[in-house]
Amino acid sequence: MSLSAGQPTISVVVVSRRRPEALKRALVGISQLRYPAFEVVVVADAAGLAVVNDLPFGDQLKTVEYETPNISAARNRGIAHAAGEVVAFIDDDAVPETGWLHHLAIPFAEPEVVAAGGYVRGRNGIGFQWQAQSVDGTGEGLPLDVNGDESVVLTPNNGRAIKTEGTNMAFRRMVLAELGGFDPAFRYYLDETDLNLRLAAAGHKTAIVPRAEVHHGYAENRQRTAARVPRDLSEIGASKAVFLRKHCPEAQRATVWKAFCQGQRRRLLSHMVAGHIMPGDVRRLMRGLQQGYSDGQTRALGQTPELTRAADGFAPLVVQLGPQVVIFGRLWRRKTILRDTRQAIQDGKLPSVFIFSRTALFHSVRFDPAGFWLQRGGLFGRSERRQSLFRIGGFGARLKQEFQRVAAQRLMSETLLPKRLQTKQQAQKRSRS
């Protein structure tokens, strides 16, 4: 596959710390991306780099060892080793849909587009964690009315920036270098939001790309458990202080900070009511939030290294991708379906697997570390919030509906479906091939 007009070379930067298994899963997903020219830069601790070395394509990845818990500094290390025209970022606990880079790259054909952000689905693979937002100098986001699946190019105005989400965003490398990359004063939280506001101040345009999807799992880290229960709020407090110093008028900062603390306290109380933390934990975490805010008041701002182009040049990941296939069946055939899936992977194919039970169970989607997408749920159950709770329909109709829901994100053709489920046009096209 070769680059066509308007398709930039892309560097995918993945930062990882203390999550080697999540990193491995993310990299397997990234290796299946259908895009003609992209390289992968992994900035990780020793445990993460050990996992990279075990992957069959690991020797093709650029690796940077970095142990310090500072997301901004780590991303800057990635940018320094990136040689693509565009730098894309994804977290180690996320997996991209197969067509992620294909869709994310399209808006960059317009020279005035400097940044692009896609949509993020949550850990059930169905609901959205993040779609389209704008953000102001307080750091609070507001939803943007982006209709349909086509990308939209937006111009910031009225002191607001177009928000991109850290686990699904891309920027022209030249502009990143000009702006100094990410501010290391943001060790965790609001790092990309700060960059969004700096882009807006320079008048740059950002594209929102709904079809560029990643699935994000919220794996545990120093700040939260796997269930998203806070462990420490000090870095959040510090980043909030830095952000307000940089972007919020001084007269408003005390009011904004008070409202932020109230919101964090409400969040902690909800976890306490649910039995996840004790009353003493609420007091401890709020003290940490305040201590972090004090620390953030004295942090140096904007001290970024010079981000020159990578000396070792562009190193595209070359993985021989086989055809995509659809494997499906009812729940009682689960073992046979998964056996067929494993065989398809051994044959070099990329499976999307659909298993439906004769129930009204809600659906879930996940990427298996073995290298396939799996959707499970009830034949009459809901896969999108806007759908009714109970639906009547046959297996074939439901399979076609769920296939069409993800086909564009994975760059899949309807010819992968049984002929009886294809549109007449697709069936004729397949018969001629």
User: At a CB cut-off of 8 Å and minimum separation 6, what does 268 contact?
Assistant: 230, 277, 281, 282, 285, 286
Of 174, 196, 3, 224, nearest to 101 by C-alpha is 3
Of 178, 188, 170, nearest to 304 by C-alpha is 178
Six-digit token string for 386: 């806007």
CA contacts within 13 A on the Cβ side of 120: 22
Residue 1 scores a pLDDT above 60: no
Q: How confident is the model at residue 305 (pLDDT cuts 50, 70, 90)?
A: confident
Q: Measure the CA–CA gap between 296 and 191, rounded to whole angstroms.
A: 13
C-alpha distance from residue 21 to each of 69, 92, 93, 418 (Å): 18, 9, 9, 36
Residue 138 neighbours by CB distance under 10 Å: 19
Six-digit token string for 391: 């639906």
Record the pTM: 0.94
Q: What is the pLDDT of residues 158-169, one digit of tens each?
A: 889 999 999 999
Six-digit token string for 253: 């900062």
Of 256, 242, 243, 191, nearest to 264 by C-alpha is 256
Mean pLDDT of the chain: 93
pLDDT of residue 147: 86
Residue whose token pair is 């020793």: 46
Q: What is the pLDDT of residues 3-32, one digit of tens each?
A: 766 799 999 999 999 999 999 999 999 999
| β-pair partners for 89 | 13, 169
Residue whose token pair is 């972090």: 292
pLDDT of residue 21: 95
For the chain, give the percent of residues with pLDDT over 90: 84
Residue 426 scores a pLDDT above 70: no
Residue 150 neighbours by CB distance under 10 Å: 12
For the chain, give the percent of residues with pLDDT over 70: 94
Task: Give the pLDDT mean for 296-319.
Answer: 87
CATH number of 10-216: 3.90.550.10
Q: Measure the CA–CA gap between 385 and 363, rounded to whole angstroms.
A: 11
Q: Would you kindly state where each structural domain of the chain is located, as residue ranges?
A: 10-216, 234-296, 324-432
Question: What is the torsional sign of CA 309, 311, 314, 316?
Answer: negative
Q: What is the pLDDT of residues 244-299, one digit of tens each?
A: 999 999 999 999 999 999 999 999 999 999 999 999 999 999 999 999 999 999 99
Q: 273-309 as b/e, with b when 16 or more CB fall inside 10 Å? A: eeeebeeebbeebbebbeebbeebeebeeeebeebee
Q: What is the pLDDT of residues 383-415, one digit of tens each?
A: 987 766 556 678 999 999 999 999 999 999 999
pLDDT of residue 48: 96
